[in-house]
Amino acid sequence: MARRVDKELEEFRQIMEVPSTFEEGFSWSSLLGALFVAFLMVPGAIYMGLLAGKMEVGAAAQWVTVILFIEVAKRAHRHLNKSEIFVLFFMASAAMGMPFSGLLWNQFFINSDAAAATGIADQLPIWFAPARDSISYSTRSFFHMDWLPVIGMVIFGSFFGELASMILGYGLFRLASDIEKLPFPMAPVGAQGIMAMAEDIDTKQRKDAEDSWRWRVFAIGGAMGLVFGSIYLLLPTLSGALTGESIQIFPIPFSDFTQKTGRYLPAFATGMAWDFGNLITGMVMPFFGMLGSVIGLMVTLVGNPLLYKFEILHSWKFGDDTIQTLFKNNVDFYFSFQIGIAVAIAIVGIWQVVRGVRKARVEARSRGADRHDTSGFTPPQGRGDIKFWLVMLCYLVVTVTYISASALLLRWHHGTWQPPGNENGIRNVVFVLFFLGFVYTPLISYVTARLEGMVGQVVEIPMIREATLILSGYRGVACWFLPMPLANYGQMTVFYRQCELTGTKFTSIWKTKLVLYPIILVSSIFFMNFIWGLDKVPSSAYPYAEKMWELNALNQSIVYTSTLGEYSMFEQAFNWIYLGVGGLFGLVLFGFMWTVGAPVML
């Protein structure tokens, strides 16, 4: 049988080739870039996240940092190579992804109506947020002794999380790229922006701009974003600061039409997000991926009124807004149905991996290759690789540290290893952590690494954390806030492929991370404290947080109440029948698409 080829994937595979040499990208400009991002971009990213709901300034910070340092280097008569540009870009993106925005969420959640109504507010552990009677809430300051356990856990979790992500992601990349020679079709998409910057430098030095089409396209996109951002974000910000009332031509975070369309489209949330970035993103994403999104929207448009008619979406009432509609539909049906869909996707992903491995072995035998041949494991010269035993040692140390810390935290929270009414709870949670750390995480990470390498997709088994903690029999909510050895490191393989495509030594990335981490930690907590001190969060000054955080708190409370040992909102939302329907629907749909040869990305 002839091998079926997805033309769209083949097109993405052929965009870029791996260079023959690798260069050092870490330099003093990297340190200056870290300081620039930490003290100028981080506060802007935090503020815009509260205002508009997306860290849009985070993506902008990456390119602003790169462009600024390119221009400064030109005036200093210094040439920045592709590797240095990639390191600057990585540094800015890593800075925007630091976790201290969670501190503002923590102080909100413990005092939220959702936490109080579900009875979990007084059971939240002190490493998540201080008790509600803490004076730090009235003074609105993280610089208080009550917040030390919280900040300590954030530092602990982010440090070991970053360490594991960088090193274990590298190990998976070695397996998927060096051993299995997978193409990683989506990696060149991210690397093209770096090439545009380097191309601009080279063409200007040659005084030949004929081939600098990437830079022209980049500049046009930047100008369009500047115009739209001035209307969408700058106008509300300035008007609110100057007059006390925010002027919004395009409502933030979205325009809500559900109360008007509910008469004709019952139980269908009609909200329009005026995000120009989504429109541009849709233009560069694979066509069939976007077509699949449109089909999904149409199915929901028709399906929700039918589900309402047959009293499956029974909680919705005319007059509910978008947020209320989404939450009620989630509880009535979609919470379980989406789990089923995700289970089907996970099954399909694992099947594709097994099928791919078998096919690779058959092809190797047909070529007469030794199945135990490891010559492909020798990395390219000068790429900055490390010994593989260090990867395994890192995995072992991080996993054991997570499990030990979680056990000690539960002992601290309960004051004993066998709390009354929950005698085996801590022991069972430790068993769960061993399963997640030594069985699930390596399995799902490897499966994802292969899928990223083959088709540019990620696989996740849904609700694995929730299912294992519920089955553990633990009673309480502290288990939800443990530093768990649960992650999918396979997604980092794409980053390392981009690093390789731009000719950047891997050691450059690791050096940058070591320098960047303490700088961003200090700046993040300082600016979080500063913003909270200005006004309570959320408030009318932050439209997105004011509107959406309560919904997010309600959704999270559904899960947290599942281990209270009483009837909870989780039991109301979880339905095995709907989960089975979702799983069956996903498997049948994939089987049909595979049979007719539909594109993978659809």
Q: Which helix (H) or strand (E) holds 414?
A: helix 388-414
Residue 1 has pLDDT above 50, yes or no: no
Give the model's pLDDT for residue 304.
Answer: 94
Give the model's pLDDT for residue 402.
Answer: 96
Rounded Cα–Cα distance for residues 408 and 423 (Å): 15
More confident residue, 232 or 101: 232
pTM, two decimal places: 0.77
Amino acid at 264: Y
pLDDT tier at 95, thresholds 50, 70, 90? low
Give the model's pLDDT for residue 573.
Answer: 74
Give the model's pLDDT for residue 11.
Answer: 62
Amino acid at 269: A
pLDDT averaged over every residue in the chain = 82
Coil, strand or helix at 504: strand
Q: Which of 142-156, 286-300, 526-540 has the lowest mean pLDDT?
A: 286-300
Q: What is the CA radius of gyration of the chain?
A: 25
Map 522-574 to HEC letters: HHHHHHHHHHHHHCCCCCCCCHHHHHHHHHHHHHHHHHHHHHCCCCCHHHHHC
Place of tokens 């100028």: 40
How far apart are the two ends of the chain, measured CA to CA in Å?
24
Identify the burial level of 20 via C-beta atoms within 10 angstroms of its C-beta, where 0-12 means exposed, 13-18 middle and 19 or more buried.
exposed
Q: What's the pLDDT tens digit per position in 212-241?
A: 666 677 778 778 888 888 888 788 878 877
Map 7-66 to HEC letters: HHHHHHHCCCCCCCCCECCCCHHHHHHHHHHHHHHHHHHHHHHHHHCCCHHHHHHHHHHH
Place of tokens 């005319």: 318
Rounded Cα–Cα distance for residues 468 and 437 (Å): 12
The residues near 207 (Cβ < 8 Å, ≥ 6 apart) are none
Amino acid at 222: G
Residue 136 has pLDDT above 90, yes or no: yes
Rounded Cα–Cα distance for residues 583 and 340 (Å): 4
Q: What's the pLDDT tens digit per position in 259-290?
A: 899 889 999 999 888 877 778 777 766 677 77
Length of the chain measured in residues: 602
pLDDT tier at 108, thresholds 50, 70, 90? very high
Q: What's the pLDDT tens digit per position in 42-87?
A: 887 788 788 777 655 556 667 777 777 877 877 777 777 888 888 8
The residues near 373 (Cβ < 8 Å, ≥ 6 apart) are none
Map 186-208 to HEC letters: CHHHHHHHHHHHHHHHHHHHCCC
pLDDT, average across residues 154-175: 91
Give the model's pLDDT for residue 399.
Answer: 96
Per DSSP, the residues of 256-289 read E-HHHHTTTSTT---EE---HHHHHHHHHS-HHH
Nearest residue to 140 via CA among 508, 589, 538, 540: 538
Q: What's the pLDDT tens digit per position in 412-456?
A: 999 999 888 888 889 999 999 999 999 889 888 888 888 788 767
CB atoms within 10 A of CB 205: 10
Q: Pairing state of beta strands 255-256 and 271-272?
A: antiparallel
Give the model's pLDDT for residue 601.
Answer: 58
